Amino acid sequence: MELADKVTVVTGGASGIGAALCRRFAEEGARAVVVVDVDHAGAQRAADGIAADHPGTKVVAEQLDVADGPATTQLVDRLVAQFGGIDLYCANAGIATGTGVDAPSRVWQQAWDVNVMGHVHAATALLPHWLERGQGYLVTTASAAGLLTMVGDAPYSATKHAAVGLAEWLSITYGQRGITVSCLCPQGVRTPMLFGTGDGTASPDDGASLAAETVKAQGVVEPEEVAQAVVAAVRTGQFLVLPHPEVADYEAARATQRERWLGGMRKLAARIAGQ
């Protein structure tokens, strides 16, 4: 799908990857870019900046907690009425926790609600419109942690695996009915999630954990490179979006030599933990 003249929506659009996606979609000549975030002031700031640079694109900010299913449906219905349809929806909002398996239940629940149910709510809200229309494009942001693992963050690893599984399920179930799904799986990206904002507001993790330090030690790409990879994938309808191409090799090693892969990861985890 080409993005020129399209109506696009991005959750987590106030910051990092989401903000880069919004800006890039405007650069591609999208008719509308809807910057959605739980942080309304941040979404408005991002929208104002993009609108100033791209007067040909209608850029609006919307407040939404993606964990809230009814609110997601309300927003999607309203945007469909306002713009005559949504062409591309990026379910991108996500949170890291920096915690292990012993994380409090509320942390596990929050990771599940945002990283998985956020995508479920988006799909549930969008599918009736898209099936009626016979087309629609959903990009979900999982992570390389959803194909491999994230040392030091159990809720993130488990929920991002679930997000990849859900994206595959949606692609398999609706792919023949005009719905295209891509799943974005980056390793480290230079955003507040990984590097923090310094004020503790970016995410429950805010870039200070062992997990964040581990990812930073690998190759870190810029949010704009991720946006470029997404636009390229959307152009061809490719499912898996890998801004770090080496992740495909790691995933192949995991699938075909699992014991060896696990052994290597155990050593990495022990090294990081200083054991």
Ligand X SMILES: NC(=O)c1ccc[n+]([C@@H]2O[C@H](COP(=O)([O-])OP(=O)(O)OC[C@H]3O[C@@H](n4cnc5c(N)ncnc54)[C@H](O)[C@@H]3O)[C@@H](O)[C@H]2O)c1
Q: Which is nearer to ligand X, 144 or 179 (CB)?
A: 144
Q: How far is the CB of 132 from ligand X (least distance, A)?
A: 26
Residue 67 in contact with ligand X, rule: CB under 6 A: yes
Q: Which is nearer to ligand X, 31 or 153 (CB)?
A: 153
Q: Which is nearer to ligand X, 13 or 136 (CB)?
A: 13
Q: Which of 189, 229, 241, 242 binds ligand X (CB under 6 A)?
A: 189
Q: Which of 89, 156, 174, 250 is catalytic?
A: 156
How far is it, in rounded angstroms, from Cα 9 to Cα 251? Answer: 30
Helical segments of the chain, H only: 16-27, 40-53, 69-83, 105-115, 117-133, 154-174, 192-195, 210-217, 223-236, 246-256, 258-272
How far is it, in rounded angstroms, from Cα 79 to Cα 7? Answer: 9
Residues 134-153 that bind ligand X (CB under 6 A): 141, 143
Residues 216-275 that bind ligand X (CB under 6 A): none
- Non-local (6+) Cβ contacts of 259 within 8 A are none
Q: Which of 88, 147, 154, 215 binds ligand X (CB under 6 A)?
A: 215
Q: Which of 21, 126, 202, 234 binds ligand X (CB under 6 A)?
A: 202
Residue 95 in contact with ligand X, rule: CB under 6 A: yes
- Non-local (6+) Cβ contacts of 142 within 8 A are 160, 163, 164, 167, 183, 184, 185
Active site residue 250: no
- The gap between the terminal CA atoms of the chain, to the nearest Å, is 49
Residue 114 in contact with ligand X, rule: CB under 6 A: yes
Give, as one character, the DSSP assignment of residue 190.
S
Residue 17 in contact with ligand X, rule: CB under 6 A: yes
Residue 192 in contact with ligand X, rule: CB under 6 A: yes
Closest CA to 20 of 228, 203, 245, 239: 228
Residue 16 in contact with ligand X, rule: CB under 6 A: yes
DSSP 138-170: EEEE--GGGTS--TT-HHHHHHHHHHHHHHHHH
Give, as one character, the DSSP assignment of residue 189.
B
Residue 66 in contact with ligand X, rule: CB under 6 A: yes
Q: Which residues bind ligand X (CB under 6 A)?
A: 11-12, 14-18, 37-39, 42, 64-67, 92-95, 114, 141, 143, 186, 188-189, 191-194, 202-203, 215
